[in-house]
Amino acid sequence: MSVNVSVLAAEQRPLPVPPRRGTAATSENDPRTRAEKGETAMPRTQRNRFRRRRARRRFPLPMPLLAATAAGLLAATAGGTAFAMDKGVVLDTGGEERTVHTFGGTVADVLDAAGVELGEGDVVAPPPDTPVGDGDHVLVRSPRDLTVELDGHERSHRVIAADLGEALHQIGLDPGSVELSESPDTPLPAEGLSVSAERAPRMVVMYDTVRTETRTTGTTVADVLDAAGIDLGAHDIVTPEPDEPAAPDTVVEVLPVLTAPETEEVVIEADTEERDDPDLPQGEREVVTEPEDGLKEVTTATVLRGGEEVEHRLSEETVSHPVDGLVRVGTQVEEAGTPPVGGGDAAGLNWSALAACESGGDPTAVNSAGGYYGLYQFSTASWRSVGGTGLPSEAGAGEQTQRAQQLYDAVGGNWQSQWPHCGARLFD
């Protein structure tokens, strides 16, 4: 049998301390309290996610319950031969433990074997007439005087505790919520102990819509969460982050993440810029740069926001940036053309053979690479040099032939400069 060594206490008059979370009087999560305030009950999902973590501290047990528990365990383990065997019982007197050997069968026999005489007001658990077995625990506590000056107000108490931490819990004061002049592990001497305490700064934790007020002597956001009993999920988002410092009146916001995050690739569409170019004929378009889309990785998860489950974008990372395209758009207004001037020596050349070689005899032909048009594959520059307007492929076959003859004359018969591949056909 083992006995809780935290605190053995008769009723003590508690200090006026802030209400503890989780009590019926102070819990903001209590449905009755929320109803009185006109608030709605916490959604089921939020109740499942909002788990209070029990602090690893020692809290006082009522004496009757502690004694009954100890007696029950002893009765179950002692057996019929317990009184005839040497037993090693752990005796805790005022926080100091030692193993006492006895052939006796009760707590009183253990105390006699240890030479412990109970004084006025001493408390022993389990009670002296309780049977004991090997390995059981017996606690003895003597009343001690404790004076606490809390925020300048002094109160005296009579406690049954081994150390300051046990005593503070006994009078209803959480050691983690005050700044103490002595360590909570400080033993309580027979002559009593006086300490001063100041309430730690108040902090607030908002777990979605649930508000929890707490006090802590901790210095980080993680300490605030621990003091408030908030058990974070693996992906919950905390603002400020847990390792950041916590100042007085800090408000910590927790966004509960309900599902494992998922990452997908998303295309970043590239834009295309159109830029006016006065050197290109009006309406003509020239692609300078082809647009290239980018790529990013977006991570999302289902979160609890305002009591509702919604999808939330946790993060995004650019894998490749988009490259915008560029198109030049001609704005040049062409002057009115001049009538074609053909004939002369050029009229006697074989223009049909040249057209067949350059364009297959098609007056509307456009070179697949762009920039050359019509029967004789004029460039826009050469076409304009002989008075043509618009595109050569838009003019009639007769006009194209006349302007080709005019171009031949303009270059002094240097057909190689205009038709280097097919010009020789003019003399077939």
Q: What is the tens place of the pLDDT at every residue in 115-153?
A: 998 888 889 999 999 999 999 999 998 898 999 998 888
Q: What is the pLDDT of residues 61-89, one digit of tens each?
A: 444 434 443 444 344 444 444 445 889 99
Q: Which of 396, 389, 390 is nearest to 375 (CA)?
A: 396
pLDDT value of position 151: 82
Domain with CATH 1.10.530.10 in the chain: 338-427
| Residues 283-301 pLDDT 10s | 788 999 999 999 999 999 9
Taking a C-beta distance cutoff of 8 angstroms, is the pair 146, 172 a contact? no
**Can you tell me whether residue 28 is helix, strand or coil?**
coil
User: Could you give the residue range(s) of every CATH 2.20.230.10 domain in the chain?
Assistant: 262-330
The per-residue pLDDT for 175 is: 85
Cα angle: 206, vertex 207, 212; to 5 degrees:
55
Give the separation between CA 375 and CA 407, rounded to whole angstroms.
Answer: 14
Look at phi and psi of residue 301 and say left if phi exceeds 0, alpha if psi is from -120 to 50, else beta: beta
CATH 3.40.50.150 fits 338-427, yes or no: no
383 vs 6, more confident: 383
Cα 128 to Cα 7, 67, 68, 94, 139: the distances in Å are 18, 10, 12, 17, 11
Rounded to whole angstroms, how far apart are CA atoms 94 and 189?
9
ω into 126 cis (within 30 of 0):
yes
Strand partners, 153: 150
Contact 403, 387 (CB under 8 A): yes
The tokens for 338 are: 């001049």
**pLDDT tens digits for 13-51?**
333 333 333 333 333 444 333 433 444 344 444 444 443
Q: Which of 102-116, 241-255, 326-340, 398-412 has the lowest mean pLDDT?
A: 326-340
User: Which residues in 306-381 belong to E strands, given as ranges?
Assistant: 308-320, 325-332
**Which CATH architecture does the domain made up of 262-330 adopt?**
Single Sheet (2.20)
Nearest to 375 by CA among 419, 334, 412, 339: 419
Residue 183, Ramachandran bin (φ over 0: left; ψ between -120 and 50: alpha; else beta): beta
Residues 6+ apart with CB under 8 A from 76: none
